[in-house]
Structures are given as C-alpha cells and as structure tokens.
Amino acid sequence: MLERLNEAMEHIERHLDRPVGTGELARIAMTSDHHFRRMFSTLAGMPLSEYLRRRRLTVAGAEVLAGERTLLDIAMRYGYCSGEAFARAFRGLHGVGPGEARRTGAALRSQPRMTFRLVVEGSSTMEYRIVAKKEFRVVGKKARVPLVYEGANPAIVEFVKGLGTEMVQRIHALSDQDPEGIVAVCDGLDPNRAEGTELDYYHAVVTNAPVPPDMDTLTVPPGAWGVFTNTGPYPQALQTLWADIFAQWFPSNPYRSRPGPEILRTRMAPDGTTATSELWIPVERTPV
C-alpha cells in the first residue's frame, strides 16, 4: 500500500501545473477515494488539498525568484484565475507578496515533497478483531462540533456536561448490543478532515430499540468493522491508536476504510488518568 501511495505522490509532482483529483490519485494507489483521503490526512498531518496548495506555491516561489516568467504567467500556470488571487495565496504561505519577493530576493518558505515509509518499532502489539454487523441505530443526543486532533475537544466536553445525569441514564438504558453502553460516535466529517472542520457528534448507544421522541438517531447500514483496543493515558493513547491504525494496520492488512461513522467506547480507570478504549472503524476487504 505504501509503495502505491508513493506512486501517487510522484504523480502529484509531475502534474503540479494542472488540477489533480483525489479519484485520479486513488486509482494510482489502487484504493477508494474515501480511503485515500483518510490515509493521506493521517500520514501527512494535513488534508490533501492543503498539501497540493503548499507544493504548488513552493514551486511557484522558485519561478518567481527566477524571473523568467511574468507573475501573471506563473499564477495561471499553477491554477490561479488572477494575479490578485495568486498574490493572496503566495503571501499566505511565504509571508511576502510575489512582486516584493522578486524585487528583493526575499527568503521564501518551502513545503518539502512527501514520501511515506513504514516504521516498525516492535514496542507494542495492536489488538483488533473484525466484526460484521447488521443494520443498527445510534440513538442519543447530537451536536455539531469542530474536529480537534490533539487533547480534549472543548465543544464535546461542554455538550456532554450539558446533557444532565437523567438524560445520560435514559440513553444508557437503550443499549442492547455490542459495543455496549454509552459510546461517542462521529459522523458527517469533511472528506479532507482538516482540523476545525465540523462533524456530527453523538453521545449515544448502539441499539435497535424504539427511539424516544426527544432523542436523535442515526441509522447505520450493515457492514464490517475493525475493532481496535488499547489501554493507556487518556486521551493521548487513544489519539495514538487512531493514527497507528492508518499508519501501520491498514498498510499491513488486506482492508481499507469505507464511509461510515466512527464509534468509540471508553472506560476510564478509577483515578481518571488512564482508560481502555475500543475504537470501531468501518472497513471493507481490499479488492484482489
């Protein structure tokens, strides 16, 4: 998988002067559009669209300093419809406008070309199982919150605090299948998964029980799930697990991610510093 991903990265480099679609890159990597976006954003630490923007402006910066083309020619070459749009984007990355950069020979910033490799440390074992589930419902209370990659999500913390003990107990009583008890469910994420983009967060249970009129519901179609478990400092160990699934498990196993909600079951230790986390990721077999 990583070899094919690097072939897609090489394709980007050869075509920085024209639009490159995610579907095009996914075909080179021999995976789905959805999985390619997920893999890239996890491994690169940024959305694909942001990487493309930075690489184009990096190469454009070298052309600006070379002085062989007009600034408008460079703008058009790298996909900007006007000199003004190019100047705004250029300043956003380099901290200086293209005209000033050319006149003064200013120092510019660079987005290095990315390649990916698998680092095997052997320091831990990832526990997982594959579960096939029939259609089920996620039932509880929903909020629209921003995506946060590190640390606690303040919007989620405030949302859960505001639910009240009685509502949480009512939600918990509806649980009737695995994963049992209260779970955190994330759905409707932006395809690029850029930090700060919004998603639907459910403080809920997995159930097929009747839905109370004052609760929100999400119907989930049948499919396979990769279920990953770890124990450690919370939330750091969980966030490391999420990254390791895409950086290590997917490249080493015949599965890819598929569209669907991500489900997290967390059980805190009595002292509140560590937790056992069970992360459910929708998966499908990679076509042979």
Q: Is residue 109 part of a domain?
A: no
Chain mean pLDDT for the chain: 89
Do 266 and 218 lie in a common domain?
yes
Q: Is the pLDDT of residue 126 over 80?
A: no
For residue 26, what are the domain limits?
2-104
- The domain that contains 83 carries what CATH number? 1.10.10.60
What distance in Å separates the CA atoms of residue 281 and residue 191, rounded to the nearest whole number? 15
- The domain that contains 190 carries what CATH number? 3.20.80.10
Do 45 and 139 lie in a common domain?
no
Q: Is residue 267 part of a domain?
A: yes
- What's the CA dihedral at 110, 113, 119, 124 to 10 degrees? 60
What is the domain count for the chain? 2
Q: What is the pLDDT of residues 68-110, one digit of tens each?
A: 999 999 999 999 999 999 999 999 999 999 999 999 988 898 8
Q: How far, in whole angstroms, is CA 253 from its chain's centroid? A: 19
Q: Is residue 272 part of a domain?
A: yes
Q: What is the pLDDT of residues 6-56, one digit of tens each?
A: 899 999 999 999 999 999 999 999 899 988 988 888 888 788 999 999 999
Please give the average per-residue pLDDT across 231-237, as a whole number.
Answer: 82
Do 143 and 255 lie in a common domain?
yes
* pLDDT interval class at 216 (50, 70, 90): very high
Residue pair 62/23 in contact by the 8 Å Cβ criterion: no
